Every structure is written in C-alpha cells, then in structure tokens.
Amino acid sequence: MNPYIKFKHPKDIQLFNYLNPVLLDVIEKLSFWCEARELPFRITCTISTLEEDKALKRVSDSHRTRRAVDLSLHEWPEEKINSFQTIFNAKYKDKASISKSDGIPRLIVVHGVGENRHFHVALHSKYSMADQKTTVK
C-alpha cells in the first residue's frame, strides 16, 4: 500500500484489505496521482454495514459489497477536483459504477455539500463481493 494513503477512521485501516482487489489496485493508482500533485489522499469510509448505510441514507450497496470508498476532497482546488474526475472516469469507464440517474459509467462522483462534500469512488456492481461480516469496532 502506498504510504501516502491516510485514513480518517482507524477501523478503515483494518477494513482496507477486505476491499475488492480491483478497487485496491485503482486506489493505489489514484493515490500515486495525488501524491505527484501534493494533493491529500484521505480515505473517509471503506466497508459499511446495512445499519450504517441506513443511518447515512445511502441508496447504494457499494460500500457493503466492498467495491467503494469515500475520499476527502478537503483542501483540493476545484480545478484539481474536476481533473481527477475527468481523467479517472475516462480511464476506468469499463470498471466504473453506472449512474442510476443517467446510465453513464463514472468511477468518481462528488457527493455531499459543505463539510460533507467528498469523492465517492465505486466499481461496477459486477465487482460486488459477498458480505463476510468484516465488522470492526
């Protein structure tokens, strides 16, 4: 794992290696791109439970099926946010999650507002992995 990758929550450090291996490879490439540009790379969420998803009003199972992470975009200039999405959405369109609203594959989407604004990085549902009770306290 690239040591440039940081985590908001200690539990996500433990859960990280349970993510889909394809996603782990993508995360590594994303982190190297960020490191080269001195942009922070901080994972704020890896694997979640159904209860956590309900509390957050998530509409997708992507975190539960180990094919998604959230990344902080705090301290990112807007032009770098746009570049990050454009470059990696094009590069990984064959592996990206399909938008329910318009049917377009996107690996990276910006979600939330204000302090909750973040990148949601998600693979297509064909990369879903069964829940193996990877709960960490």
Q: Quick check: 99 and 106 in contact, CB under 8 A?
A: yes
29: nearest Cα among 95, 99, 115: 95
Choose among 38, 46, 40: nearest CA to 5: 40
Predicted confidence (pLDDT) at residue 57 exceeds the cutoff of 90: no
% of residues, the chain, pLDDT over 70: 95
Q: What is the pLDDT of residue 113?
A: 86
pLDDT at 130: 75
Q: Which residues pair with 120 in a beta bridge?
A: 70, 109
Mean pLDDT over 6-35 rounds to 97
Burial class for 13, CB neighbours closer than 10 Å (0-12, 13-18, 19+): middle
Q: What is the pLDDT of residues 75-118, one digit of tens each?
A: 999 999 999 999 999 999 999 999 888 999 999 999 988 888 99
